Amino acid sequence: MKLNELVPQQDPVDLYLPVMSEIRDVRPLTDLETLYTVALPDGRDLGHQPGQFVEVSLFGVGEAPFSISSSPTRKGVFELGIRKVGLLTEKLAELKPGDKVGIRGPFGHGIPVEKFRGKDVLIVAGGIGLVPMRSMINYVLDRRDEFGRLIICYGSRSDKELLFTDEMESWRRDPGVDFHVTVDRGSPEWEGNTGVITTLIPGLELDLGKTVCCVCGPPVMYRFVLLALKSRGLPDKSIYMSLERRMKCGVGKCGHCQINHSYVCQDGPVYHYPDLKSLEEAL
């Protein structure tokens, strides 16, 4: 590559200008998480892939990345599931329908759905990791005949923190969905599984040659889930993982999201597991 003969790969654009979009609906999921329905101006479609993210901003407050929780098959509006943890997210929690937020994106590499087509789809989601995975789940449900079985493992710290409980009910009832949920610590009313998410994996009914898996959850979860999947004999090439790092620009410029040589906002957030092996800092 000759550095002094480079030409821009695209027309230079204002990468950091948000598109002012409208909050259409606000629905509390738990005490901490809220589901926002957002509409781009003029009924424009976001045109995303499951697993991609947008940068959401409020003027005077800040900007941060959030996964798109709705499936691209559901057009017109999109959904974000956001946990209240800091500066921006606390102000987002005060928003009402009709309020405006700035949106940039969609950014990053999402789940390569073509690699899942015709296969059994295994989703392993921990905590807030269900937010992006829900996009894939609904994508599969909306195009049911393009995929094999849908197996969902979802783990949460407690039953009070479970997200999308109403949708969970329909997954549980759906004969085409193999749905498993566990909580680390259940309240007295909890009647389901207790234990960390890895306890769900040994009992799964898997057709190893036909299963492709996507994992998303808190950083500590990955190593243990990987071990559990491997001990079931799932080959590395059938595993995808969605990673999280600090992000600012979302477009490969600011450097914050870098893991070794890889920019999570560009090469990720969804990685093919074999590619992660050359990234010492990844897991």
Could you list the residues that contact another protein (CB under 8 A)? 1, 3-4, 6-18, 20, 57, 59-63, 85-87, 89-91, 94, 100, 102, 219, 244-246, 248-249, 251-256, 258-261, 266, 280-281
In the list another protein, ligand FES, ligand FAD, none, the entry touching 82 (Cβ below 5 to 8 angstroms by class) is ligand FAD
CB 103 within 8 A of CB 19: yes
The window from 23-31, 98-106, 220-228, 245-253 that contacts ligand FAD (CB under 6 A) reads 245-253
Pair type for strands 19-28 and 62-67: unpaired
Length of the chain: 283
Q: How far is the CB of 42 from ligand FAD (least distance, A)?
A: 25
Instruction: Give dist(CA 68, CA 61) in Å, integer.
Output: 21
| H or E stretch covering 171 | helix 165-173
Closest by CA position to 88, among listed 218, 253, 247, 217: 247
Phi-psi group of 79: left, alpha or beta (phi > 0 → left; psi -120 to 50 → alpha; rest → beta): beta
Nearer to ligand FES, 139 or 263 (CB): 263
| H or E stretch covering 173 | helix 165-173
Q: How far is the CB of 281 from ligand FAD (least distance, A)?
A: 15
- Is 253 a binder of ligand FES (CB under 6 A)? yes
In the list ligand FES, another protein, ligand FAD, none, the entry touching 20 (Cβ below 5 to 8 angstroms by class) is another protein
- Is 88 a binder of ligand FAD (CB under 6 A)? yes
SS3 state of residue 62: strand
- Is 246 a binder of ligand FAD (CB under 6 A)? yes
CB 242 within 8 A of CB 225: no
Nearer to another protein, 23 or 125 (CB): 23
Residues 6+ apart with CB under 8 A from 180: 151, 152, 153, 154, 193, 200, 203, 204
- Is 54 a binder of ligand FES (CB under 6 A)? no
Can you tell me which of 257, 259, 270, 279 binds ligand FES, judged by CB under 6 A? 257
Closest by CA position to 268, among listed 283, 277, 258: 258
Q: How far is the CB of 225 from ligand FAD (least distance, A)?
A: 18
Residue at shortest CB range from ligand FAD: 86
- Is 64 a binder of ligand FES (CB under 6 A)? no
The window from 21-29, 78-86, 148-156, 242-250 that contacts ligand FES (CB under 6 A) reads 242-250
Give how far Cα 195 sits from Cα of 156, 200, 207, Å: 9, 8, 24
Residue ranges binding ligand FAD (CB under 6 A): 53, 62-67, 81-83, 85-89, 128, 131-132, 244-248, 269
